Chains A and B, each alone.
Chain A
Amino acid sequence: MPILEVQNIHKSFDSTEVLRDISFSLERGQALAVIGSSGSGKTTLLRCLNFLETPDGGKIIVNGETLFDADAPAGRNDAETRAKRLHFGMVFQQFNLFPQYTALENVMLASQLLAEQRPDYKQDRRAILEGIEHHAIDLLDQMSLSGRMNHYPHQLSGGQQQRVAIARALALKPDILCFDEPTSALDPELTGEVLRVIRSLADQHMTMIIVTHEMAFARDVADHVVFMDGGVIVEQGTPEQVFADTQNERTRSFLSRYAQNS
């Protein structure tokens, strides 16, 4: 059974159709790269998965559980939406770290707030908080940020900030981690360190959806590639199929534009 099934997602903003009949599925432990030019709906797709936007049509199924069904508008109150969001993690293009917290506090904050709702929080408060801190320190270690835990975001480079953001998303142990152009806001010399981290997550079989303009990276790391244009999936398949054995004319011209630029 696939970990994620997206069926016939539609999304319009006023009269503009941004997503038209998007369907794909993703197996546990696989990395999916979503490529396509700006305005093709890639970011909106990720935002729909994270319930930052509500699709107008379609279904989202995670682990066999229907999280969203446009035809059944029940179960959309805040608390339920929040619970559903936790299946997904999100790493933003602009990092969106909380500036008043240190790297470590950024990673711990959401877990601490969630822990307050646990029935055993009052009795085991200290143990729970220690557990959260250890987990956060581990994650920052994995991101090679052990020496930067007590730094505030403005004291970190863009690449370091993005790695803190990845640790922050991982802290809640999401089923699927989404990346929205994670390196687009970085200087070229800083993209490498972030891509290395994502690659190592792929090696650990983290299920991921990566919206990216780094074609070489997508080709290398992804198990499955989706090319979007004008709100539809034009072509999808293994990296070999999409990059080497391109079927669609639009995909071909998109890829050749990239080949020229790089």
Chain B
Amino acid sequence: MPLPRLALFGGVTLNPSVVFSSLFQSFGINCTIFFVTLLVALPLGLIVSFGAMNKWEPFRRLRHAGVASHKWGAALVCLRPVALVVKFLVWIIRGTPLMLQIIFIYYGPGLLHWGQPWNGMGVQGRVVASCVAFIINYACYFSEIFRGGIQSIPRGQQEAGLVLGMTRRQIFFKVTLLQVVKRVLPPMGNEFMTLIKDTALANIIASKEIIMMSKEFVNKGLIWPLFSTAIFFLLFCGILTLLFGWLEKKMDYFKV
């Protein structure tokens, strides 16, 4: 009896172990995007959050010059340009679909005649472009989580450090940071899970990640590999859940 049509793929007899091994390989792309994004977006998000909290008011000294009595003048006096620019950029990034941002990062430079930065990297170009888009997008989300975490630490903590002669740097690293980490763990867990699932969006620019790969099977008439990709994400998120549970337990020794 001849094998069913579904088992034939590229002239090779297809068994589930072959399908799973190619899905597994392409899931490596998802994992790459995941880890590279975290590696860069976590510190970048912290820097962005500092930008959003920046209190520099260059027109402050005009306060006594009579400008403040005017409606626009009063607004100018308390203008914080750094915070304003950062918040505007965060709004743009959080306010547009990640899928659109990936497309823009990949095709934008060519369309704007800035050259073709991704083509020079061969097949890796698509993954690198995806990483760039994810880093920008996630740094903005992380920055808001960090900002919330930092601003939720009582002012008294910083003041206690100051009166003990500590530098602002020492206060941040020795006093505030660990308390912030403890506070942001639950929302971070959410973001990490969203991130691994979002990596599937990279297939919009034909990065060969797991959904892209499974669609190739679909095109050959094999539908079950598409559904079985869920197992990879489920396992990954299961590990994340365990990891974050463990981290929260590790931080249980103190209360903020």
Partner-B contacts on A (CB < 8 A):
50-52, 78, 82-83, 85-86, 88-90, 92, 94, 96-100, 109-110, 113-114, 152-154, 168-169, 172
Distance (Å) between the CB of A211 and the closest chain B CB? 14
Is the beta-carbon distance between A98 and B157 smaller than 8 angstroms?
A: yes
* A-B contact number at CB 8 A: 66
Of the candidate stretches B80-88, B100-108, B159-167, B199-207, the one touching chain A is: B159-167
* CB-based contact A88/B166 at 8 Å: no
Interface centre among A94, A96, A153, A169 (most CB of B within 10 A): A96
Query: Nearest Cβ in chain B — how far from A147, in angstroms?
Result: 19
Q: Which residues of B122-175 have CB atoms within 8 Å of chain A's CB atoms?
A: 154, 156-157, 159-168, 170, 174-175
**Cα-based distance from A114 to B167 in the complex (angstroms):** 10
In the bound assembly, the distance between CA atoms of A169 and B165 in angstroms comes to: 11
Q: Are B166 and A152 in contact (CB under 8 A)?
A: no
A residues less than 8 Å from B254 (CB atoms): 99-100, 152-154
- A154 and B160 CA atoms in complex are apart in Å by 17
A/B interface sample: 23 pairs, CB < 8 A: A50-B162, A50-B163, A52-B162, A52-B163, A85-B162, A88-B163, A89-B163, A90-B160, A92-B156, A92-B160, A96-B160, A99-B254, A100-B254, A109-B164, A109-B174, A113-B170, A114-B165, A152-B253, A154-B255, A168-B164, A169-B163, A169-B164, A172-B165
- Complexed CA–CA distance, A250 and B99 (Å): 69
Q: Which residues of A contact B182 (CB under 8 A)?
A: 100
Task: Please give the number of chain B residues whose Cβ is less than 8 angstroms from any Cβ of chain A in the complex.
Answer: 23
Are the C-beta atoms of A78 and B157 separated by less than 8 Å? no
- Nearest residue (CB) in B for A99 is B254
User: B241 in the interface, Cβ–Cβ < 8 Å?
Assistant: no
* 20 extra interface residue pairs, beta carbon distance < 8 Å, beyond A52-B162, A85-B163, A154-B255: A51-B162, A52-B159, A78-B167, A78-B168, A82-B167, A85-B162, A85-B165, A89-B163, A90-B160, A90-B163, A94-B154, A94-B156, A99-B254, A100-B178, A100-B182, A110-B161, A110-B165, A152-B254, A154-B254, A169-B164
A152 to B252, CA, bound (A): 11
> Which residue on chain B has the smallest CB distance to residue A154?
B255
CB pair A110–B168 under 8 Å, yes or no, is no
A109 to B, closest residue via Cβ: B174
Which residues of B lie under 8 Å from residue A152 when comparing CB positions? 253-255
How far, in whole Å, are A97 and B253 apart by their CA atoms in the complex? Answer: 15
Task: Tell me the smallest distance from the CB of A88 to a CB of chain B, in Å.
Answer: 7
